[in-house]
A and B are shown apart, each in its own frame.
Chain A
Amino acid sequence: MAIKTQLPAIEGWFTMDPDRPALLGSQCERCAAIFFPRETSFCRNPSCQSREFTEIELSRTGTLWSFTDNRYQPPAPYISSDPFVPYTIAAVELAAEQMVVLGQVEPGVELADLHAGMTVELVLGPLYEDDEHEYLVWRWRPVADQHGAEASTRTVEEVSE
């Protein structure tokens, strides 16, 4: 069987780096406000009127703020596996950006494995596929070493250069 070409499920929301993927945000060149999903037309900071943005990579790791699962098949436009397999969703706090970002949790991680405050990292995984392509989306995964994770957290200053 031919290997399917991997494509992002949505263009421009994350990098396709297989080892160290990152969500893509935008940062206002005037007030430094950060936006995810990217804002590229008008800065939403009410005290800023800028229309100039730089693309930035968001922190790859964060701490779990909350989590839940979905036991019933959601409606379209979600493209569900057949049969439907329940999945877990996490809300993750990124320290450097001071924001919370949602994402599905990597399959195989049980609810019982999760608790608020634990360190998770961004990975990519298949959301759905067609005959030729596999469409990838970002996911959160607990890091194996809960103490060593901070080293991989990049600061806003680093990513915004």
Chain B
Amino acid sequence: MSAEHEVAILGVGMHPWGKWGRNFVEYGIVAAQQALGDAGLSWDDIEFVAGADTIRNGYPGHIAGATFSQALGWKGNRVASCYAACASGAQALNIARAQILAGFCDVALVIGADTTPKGFFAPVGGDRPDDPDWLRFRLLGATNPTYFGLYARRRMEAYGATADDFARVRAKNSRHGATNPNARYPKEFSEADVLASPVVADPLTLLEICATSDGAAAIVLTSMDFARKHTTDPVRVAAVSTITPTYPQTVLELPGFATDASVGLPVPERPFRDAIAHAAYEEAGLGPEDLDLAEVYDLSSALELDWYENIGLCAEGEAERMLRDGDTEIGGRIPVNPSGGLACFGEAIPAQAIAQVCELTWQIRGQAAGRQVEGARVGLTVNQGLFGHGSSVIVRR
């Protein structure tokens, strides 16, 4: 994509991830104020707020965009709220970007925060037999870790991955996140620790499955012209991919009972997860060879390996080799999840895709003390939201 379609990340902020047991609005305000401070701006300067909604602790009347605007002090700014499960943050970012590129505003605040209950994510309550997310629990007892377990076992059966490989991913991410001040689990684990943890969904252990966390992340997004008045070399958003799958969807996805049947139909050029990153690369005019780092959605240790292939870091079936060679460790060829990833954070759904972009921004500015990827200039985030919301953001200097 041409530079005229770029916007600047002028400020980023996060409330530390954890299980704090407070209202999500509190976390969001902390992140917003930190992002405003980082940008050298005040709430008065914000013309547009894009909020990524929480459904766990939210309800109509508590919708993110207006809720955060009210908490910061209502002043009649334009506002939008959106929900796309784990991809909500990228959607909010994209909404703000479009407002800026359309010329409706110069300065926007993108914000997401969540408060989560303990344990498995469960569908919203009530008797809802028309909702596939409800039905997969009712008829199959298929939790989110069930799908992660299926993907993990598939790697073992198809590519010869081992439980040791998956443990190695978790151990790597624990080293990355060990000194991250925003991580919920800043603790180093060895492969042996990971393997000794109780199995939740064979072959994955408790330490290899993403927890649910409280947390918040915010970004001050501005036009390039505005940013250049405040800084000489702003970090830029070069692409935001928010695509759906293409029919027939041939890869099993949460919360489905089945893939689409593809008999007699042309199969899409790329499977969904490959297509998510591909759309971002196309928009940015970049490729995987241009990346210095990536933040991928490691809902499980094994899923991180799938992403290596999906975002083009290696060919199908070669992710384990990359990992064993240390390519994705900080100091390696292409560090993945230098933040520590979901393994060290747990998932705060509406904040997570925004947090990925915050990490890239700190890395590209050289401000990721203790986990810095030297010379980082271009990074990619990737993620997907339930029911087919792709999410990938490319950030560059």
Contact = CB atoms under 8 A, between A and B. Distances in A.
B119 A99 contact: no
Contacts of B152: 68
B258 A33 contact: no
A67 B200 CA distance: 13
B201 A68 contact: yes
A66 B157 contact: yes
B83 interface: no
B140 A102 contact: yes
B261 A68 contact: no
B200 A71 contact: yes
Q: Which residue of A34, A44, A66 has the most chain B CB atoms within 10 A of its CB atom?
A: A66
A104 B141 contact: yes
B138 A68 contact: no
B158 interface: yes
Contacts of B175: none
B265 A45 contact: yes
Interface residues of B, number: 49
Q: Which residue of A78, A96, A101 has the most chain B CB atoms within 10 A of its CB atom?
A: A78
B150 interface: yes
Interface in A44-68: 44-46, 65-68
Nearest to B135: A10
A10 B256 CA distance: 16
A36 B201 contact: no
A71 B137 contact: no
A146 interface: no
B252 A74 contact: no
B262 A98 contact: yes
B139 to A, nearest CB: 6
B153 A67 contact: yes
A137 B139 contact: yes
Given A44-B247, A101-B257, A68 B263 contact: no
Interface string B132-168: 1011111111110110011111100110000000000
Nearest to B117: A75
B202 A10 contact: no
A75 B200 contact: no
A100 B146 contact: no
B120 interface: yes
Nearest to B203: A68
Nearest to A156: B263
A34 B135 CA distance: 20
A69 B201 contact: yes
Interface residues of A, number: 47
Given A75-B122, A77-B134, A103-B140, A70 B261 contact: no
A66 B201 CA distance: 12
Contacts of B204: 68
B1 to A, nearest CB: 25
B198 A71 contact: yes
Contacts of B203: 68
B257 A102 contact: yes
A68 B143 CA distance: 11
A124 B308 CA distance: 39
B267 to A, nearest CB: 9
Given A33-B265, A45-B265, A68 B149 contact: yes
B260 interface: yes
B265 A102 contact: no
B265 to A, nearest CB: 7
Nearest to B201: A68
A66 B137 contact: no
A116 B263 contact: no
A38 to B, nearest CB: 11
Contact of B122 (A9, A76, A102): A76
Contacts of A68: 145-146, 149-150, 152-153, 201-204
A56 to B, nearest CB: 10
B261 A97 contact: yes
A16 to B, nearest CB: 15
B259 interface: yes
A100 B265 contact: no
B146 A10 contact: no
Contact of A100 (B132, B134, B153, B258): B258
Contacts of A94: 261
A28 to B, nearest CB: 10
5 contacts: A33-B261, A36-B257, A75-B122, A91-B150, A116-B154
Interface of A: 9-10, 25, 32-37, 44-46, 65-72, 74-80, 87, 89, 91, 94, 96-104, 111, 115-117, 127, 137, 156
Given A97-B263, A116-B154, 6 more contacts: A69-B202, A74-B141, A74-B143, A75-B122, A77-B123, A78-B138
Interface of B: 119-120, 122-123, 125, 127, 129, 132, 134-143, 145-146, 149-154, 157-158, 198-204, 247-248, 250, 252, 256-265
CB-based closest 9 A-B pairs: A68-B149, A116-B157, A75-B122, A34-B261, A99-B261, A66-B154, A97-B261, A77-B138, A101-B258
